[in-house]
Amino acid sequence: MANKCPKCAAENPKTVKFCGECGTPLPALKGHVPAVTETFETPVNELTTGSTFAGRYQVIEELGHGGMGRVYKVFDTKIREKIALKLIRPEVASDKDTIERFGNEIRLARRIGHRNVCKMFDIGEAEGAHFITMEYVQGEDLKSMIHMSGSLSLGMLLSVGKQVSDGLAEAHGLGVVHRDLKPQNIMINKNGNAKIMDFGIARSVREKGITGPSVMIGTPEYMSPEQAEVKDVDHRSDIYSLGVILYEMATSHVPFEGETALGIAMKHKGDIPKNPKQLNPNLPDDLSGVILKCLEKDKAKRFQNACDLRADLERIEKGLPTTERVVPMPKPVTSKEITVKFSPRKLLIPGLVMMALVIAAIVIWRAVPQKTAAPAKSAKHSIAVLPFEDLSPTKVHEYLCDGIAETLINSLSNIKDLWVPPRTSSFSFKGKDLGIHEIGRQLGVDNLLEASVQVVGTRLRITPKIINADDGSLVWSAQYDRQMEDVFAIQDEIAREIIKALKIKLLGEKEAPLIKSYTGSTEAYQAFIKGRFYWNKRTAEGMRKSVEYFEQAIEIDPSYAVAYVGLADSYITLGQWIFLRPKEAFPKAKEAALKALAINDSLGEAHTSLAAVKYNFDWDWKGSEKEFKRAIELSPNYSTAHQWYGELLVVTGRLDEGLKELKRAQELDPLSLIINAIIGGWFCYYARDYDTGIIQCKRIIEMDPEFHPAHQFLWWNYVGKKMYEEALKEAQKTNYRWAVASLYAIMNRPEEARRLLADIIENPEQSEIGIARVYFQLGKNEEGWKWLEKAYDERAYSLIFIKMDPFYDQIRPDPRFQALLKKVGLE
């Protein structure tokens, strides 16, 4: 009988003790009595990045370590997903009773299925070590957030408290108690959701603790009095621990501190916590009362369940002004949340001048268009169209792959009962090695459409397939070998096959084309999709190329309405990013938008482009709002319309209404970097909630370190927090040299500021607004006003932000500022 190696699976003679291939100690065979004492395998203490553990888990990186062991992010090759793996320390795992309890508790914890609880998978043993697998949550723990930000805003405190209460209520209802709840065990993921970690672990660990051997303890700062007294604990122990966490979020301090674990535990047992309002005078009395009720020594006097605690937190939240609440981001199709917080206290400025301006600017909200989009989650069916793969050796047809996929997305989005994530979200996975299930989970869809494209001369081959995102099974596939001129027909056939495969019943004319081509010319279409390809790059060169291709498409087919829209959007972006002077860019954008509408007045995208010009350049605020409402009425699922309309509302002082539109844009396009950055960084800056802006911008940068707007908004929020060194580092990553000069001036480095400013002024593409800001920071106010007047003469794009931009607080009392507001139409 051969003896199989547990590590490399090589067959060995039953008489040997070590594997002949890899040298691993071999287990004793049943019935085999070794001639000498068996040698135990040395357990694995840590894993190496790039290695494979247990023949299944590819180690990506270590996430952290603690008393239990080390935690790694791994790729599970069996289920094709990234998960977290906790390698248990040998001294903990050596107790068989402990491991048995682990297994029992994790089996209980696996029953918890809640979005605020990290999913536990299993406990296993390999290579002499025990390990636990669980859901991988990208983000940072609450402890780190508190350490970085100090006491959190009232809105954030209530939001996290409610989410943790929700998770606890679900677990407690299933009879599972955490027993080691602490901010280190609460992760805030990249979308702002709180997730409780390590259910099913704390109860199983027995250590030599403060009251004697083999006694289970929690973390001293967060343990309940009954834990300190070594009494039996129930779900109310978790409520006490949550009370400590709420206390720490409110004050940046835990209620009891000490030199030793024993000392801290004794304080939980006998000392009365200081009222948190003494440490944070801005804390409402009723919230202080809720926290202190959680911290009652007698568990019968605490909240008796997490639902009651949550209800009180929600009651307090409802009593806050709308602008002080943490606004949950719309539930995208992934059922995740992003939260944004801001406080009206931060909207006040010296002399209350800003308050008067904001109040004076509020206008009556006009009726919402009758035709509004249904929430994405209401759709019965869902499919994501992923970027098509270019099989040409030189990859010269990437534009065609992207264009065909985008055309399908735009057309399928108009079908009732079908949710199709927009291009920005679907294409965010381009070039990333993620499994089908993970992509489907992040996009919140049941199915994925993949395809490859080959072009040989005038021949076109497209091989599409629909894959079930849940189990990876093939739903449908086909192969189309046609001439390039048949590209429109192929797209329509694919769309119909998708409808058929998903069993969607079409209304209206069944034979009517599903794909709107807007042109009969394949040459014009190819030029148009090349224009879209380069416009999506969002670089100066890319946008200039996009103009060339859109103009080429229009030259081939002068009635190609969407090509005019593309041309308009290219000029708008060139003007916004100061790659072209505003007086050159925006009139051309307006001309193109009007031509598109002259051809087809029902294009919501064209109305959106015209609306953008009206407020970016014409300063026609009412006219712009009218166009945005018409655009949303015609194309309710067009995320850009909601985004730009939200921006208009914010810069005119209508923060609540603006955030509502921005949230709708995010719901429609949940993975859009720019929309998430606008909500997380741009909006928070104008709402003066710099702490949240910093946190959210950092998360965007984690997703894409090269994403320019996130660095820009991060520098803004750092300036708001007077964190000038950090702001300078971010500003240096952008193209805005005036920002660097401005920061030099703020940081008392005037010579450097003046040298850089002189160079900027000589630049033909200089920013009048930027130069004005540097002069103001240098104390040269008259020079600053001169450049502001130049900005007005040039109709500089950035003037639309002056009403809400905190930078201008220093000159708001000047009558010239009021006059400028009136000239721009913002007063």
Q: Write out the catalytic residue numbers.
A: 180
Q: Which residues of 19-40 are buried (b: 16+ CB within 10 A; e: fewer)?
A: beeeebbbeeeeeeeeeeeeee
Instruction: Determine the Cα–Cα distance for residues 235 and 233; give it in Å rounded to an integer.
Output: 7
User: For strand 212-215 and strand 207-209, is the pairing parallel, antiparallel, or unpaired?
Assistant: antiparallel
Rounded CA separation 165/173 (Å): 12
The three-point CA angle 747-702-161 to 5° equals 95
Report the residue count for the chain. 827
Is 509 exposed, middle or buried (CB count within 10 Å of its CB: 0-12, 13-18, 19+)?
exposed
- HSE toward the beta carbon, residue 482, CA cutoff 13 A: 14
Structure tokens that stand for 652 in this block: 């005119």
Which three-class secondary structure string do you get for 325-362? Answer: CCEECCCCCCCCCCEECCCHHHHCCHHHHHHHHHHHHC
Q: Residue 300, by phi and psi: left (phi above 0), alpha (psi -120 to 50) or beta?
A: alpha
Helix, strand and coil in the chain, % to nearest 5: 50, 15, 35
3 state DSSP class of 293:
helix
Q: If you search the block for the tokens 């040998």, which residue do you land on? A: 90
Q: What is the DSSP string of 200-224?
A: TTGGG--EEETTEEEE----GGG--
Question: Which is nearest to 203 in space by CA: 174, 233, 164, 225?
Answer: 233
Separation between Cα atoms, residue 421 and residue 824, nearest integer Å: 37
Give CA angle at 528 (526, 532), nearest 5°: 115
What sign results for the dihedral spanned by CA atoms 20, 21, 22, 25?
A: negative
Q: What is the DSSP string of 739-765?
A: HHHHHHHHTT-HHHHHHHHHHHHTSTT
CA–CA separation, 787 and 800 (whole Å): 16
Q: For residues 369 and 607, what is the distance between their CA atoms, to the nearest angstrom?
A: 14
Q: How far apart are CA 498 and CA 507, in angstroms?
A: 15
Alpha-carbon separation of residue 144 from 129, 183, 193 (angstroms):
30, 8, 15
For residue 596, count CB atoms less than 10 angstroms from its CB and return exposed for 0-12, middle for 13-18, buried for 19 or more. buried
| Phi/psi-derived region of residue 212, left when phi > 0, alpha when psi is between -120 and 50, beta in every other case | left
Task: Match 């050596």 to its residue by tokens.
Answer: 94
**Rounded Cα gap, residues 724 and 742, in angstroms:** 10
Question: d(Cα 282, Cα 287) in Å, to the nearest integer?
Answer: 11
Enter the tokens of residue 621. Answer: 């605020």
Tokens representing residue 234 in the block: 């129930």
Provide the strand spans (E) within 158-215: 186-189, 194-196, 207-209, 212-215
Task: Identify the burial level of 496 via C-beta atoms within 10 angstroms of its C-beta, where 0-12 means exposed, 13-18 middle and 19 or more buried.
Answer: middle
Instruction: At 634, list the tokens.
Output: 């015609």
The phi, psi pair for 174, rounded to 5°, reads -100, 5
Cβ-Cβ contacts under 8 Å for 359 (sequence gap 6 or more): none
